[in-house]
Amino acid sequence: MQNKMITLNSGTEMPMLGYGTYLIPPGETAKSVLAAIETGYRSIDTAKAYDNESGVGQAIRNCGIDRGDLFITTKLWNSDQGYDATMRAFEKSMNRLGLTYLDLYLIHWPTPRCNNYVDTYKAMEKLHRDGRIRAIGVSNFAQAHIEKLKEQCDILPAVNQIEIHPWLTQQDMVAYLQSEGIAAEAWSPLAQGAVLGEPALVRIADKHGKSTVQVILRWNIQRNIVVIPRTTKPHRMADNAEIFDFALDDDDMRAIAAMNKNHRTGPNPDTFHWDSTCG
């Protein structure tokens, strides 16, 4: 399987095409992740909130691939924010994954109402300095949240994983991240399938002899955005990887950019919280 690597600001190399595990049931995770690894995927994205870290860990142990050849990401959930809580949550995630070190650890949401993501990030900095995490970053952070980390913390986030798809192109945010040396990573790159019938995408797909899914994934890669599509079907895992044998031209890129509606399928980072007390 072909892939492309991006060098994070920590010096760590990350595959630009990875495998996402959101909404894969715990009982099916090990089988699906193992199939993805067998297909050639080397980057696996999970989170405490997905309740499937243990399944990811089982697949890692059974896949026969050297740990150093895999790139594993997980995320800290909102209710675990705060310095001490982050330290405890990290160890629990590592136990579920069965790992001695993590490639990338992300704060899942900024939850600005609680306003404790700076302390959370400082704990992650400590874990990074101790060699437990190769790169640290954030997810769903707006520019203001990142600027606050820049002011009060020492290590610039390596990655910001945000919702990106043709209806939410995030042009300004991606430009900001890349100007800061922060890698943009797209979740929900297909807008949960809602964009696949867009006439412009169908036309571009027909032009290149590809599917609309492959066009969208290629569009991200050409914008230097990491992408982590999810599927439990091995043939679709293989299809999703067939994006390195063609290139979109400038007209294609402009046509997809013109589809932007600033439409989110997920929560707004500036307002999203969760049903719990802070800390």
Catalytic residue chosen out of the listed positions 41, 50, 117, 121: 50
Could you tell me if residue 239 is inside a domain?
Answer: no
35 vs 18: CA distance, rounded Å = 13
Per the domain annotation, does 207 fall within a domain? Answer: no
Global pTM?
Answer: 0.97
| Cα 172–Cα 178–Cα 182 angle in degrees, nearest 5 | 120
Q: Is residue 199 part of a domain?
A: no
Q: Report CA dihedral (169, 2, 51, 62) to the nearest 10 degrees.
A: 180
| Residue range(s) defining the domain that contains residue 55 | 5-193+223-232
Q: Quote the tokens at residue 58.
A: 């089982």
According to DSSP, the residues that pair with 159 across neighbouring strands are: 183
Q: Per the domain annotation, does 251 fall within a domain?
A: no
CB 136 within 8 A of CB 104: yes
Q: In the block, which residue shows the tokens 């945010």?
A: 173
Give domain status of residue 277, yes or no. no
Helix (H, G, I), strand (E, B) or coil at 30: helix
How many Å apart are CA 166 and CA 110, to the nearest integer? Answer: 24
- Give catalytic status of residue 22 as yes or no: no
Domain count, the chain: 1
In the structure, how many helices (H) and strands (E) does the chain have? 10, 10
pLDDT in tens, 36-88: 999 999 999 999 999 999 999 999 999 999 999 999 999 999 999 999 999 99
Instruction: Give the DSSP letter of residue 17.
Output: B
DSSP designation for 232: S
CATH code for position 174:
3.20.20.100
pLDDT digits (tens, 9 = 90+) for 267-276: 998 888 765 5
**pLDDT given for residue 77 in this prediction:** 96
**Tell me: the pLDDT tens digits for 179-238?**
999 999 999 999 999 999 999 999 999 999 999 999 999 999 999 999 999 999 999 999
Phi and psi at 119, nearest 5°, equal -60, -40
Q: Is residue 206 part of a domain?
A: no
pLDDT per residue over 3-30, tens digit each? Answer: 999 999 999 999 999 999 999 999 999 9
